[in-house]
Amino acid sequence: MYGPIAINPRDEIGLLVEGFERPATLLTPWNPPHHVRLLEGAGYGQAITLRSYMWTRDAVDHRGVLELAERSAARSGVRLRTIDVRALPRETRLVADLVNRSFGHIWGFVPISPRRPTTSPTSCGPSSTRPRS
């Protein structure tokens, strides 16, 4: 048996086994710490290690990512901004288009259909089972 798995490649996969003190992030699993003990007690074990990394604006930029981003933005006109939650259907279509164009060449990538982004924008909101930031 494999699991937890995702029905869709963009769903959350895996089981969080450490880092419970950090808030959940988009498209990453978050489960209560006791789920690890329950699953191990039922005979399940780890098959693969997946990692998630958090990056914030105040993080030390050892690799010069911020400088590179600023230079690239100056040349290309690309601008980072927050999502406008008042226009969530439009924003989700924009993000879906960006994801499709950015990852379309990667093996196994399943494009987001034109209808899909606006059918579930509320799934991006906080859940009662997740800690709030």
Which of the two residues, 6 and 55, has the higher pLDDT score?
55
Helix or strand run (H / E) with residue 102: helix 88-103
Q: Calculate mean pLDDT across residues 40-56.
A: 81
pTM of the model: 0.43
Beta strands in 43-132 (DSSP E): none
Per the CB < 8 A criterion, the answer to whether 109 and 103 are in contact is yes
Backbone angles phi, psi at 67, to 5 degrees: -65, -45
CA distance 107 to 95: 20
State residue 117's pLDDT score.
62
Residue 3 has what pLDDT?
Answer: 57
Q: Render pLDDT for 1-33 as a digit per residue (tens, 0 to 9).
A: 555 555 555 566 778 888 888 887 777 788 899
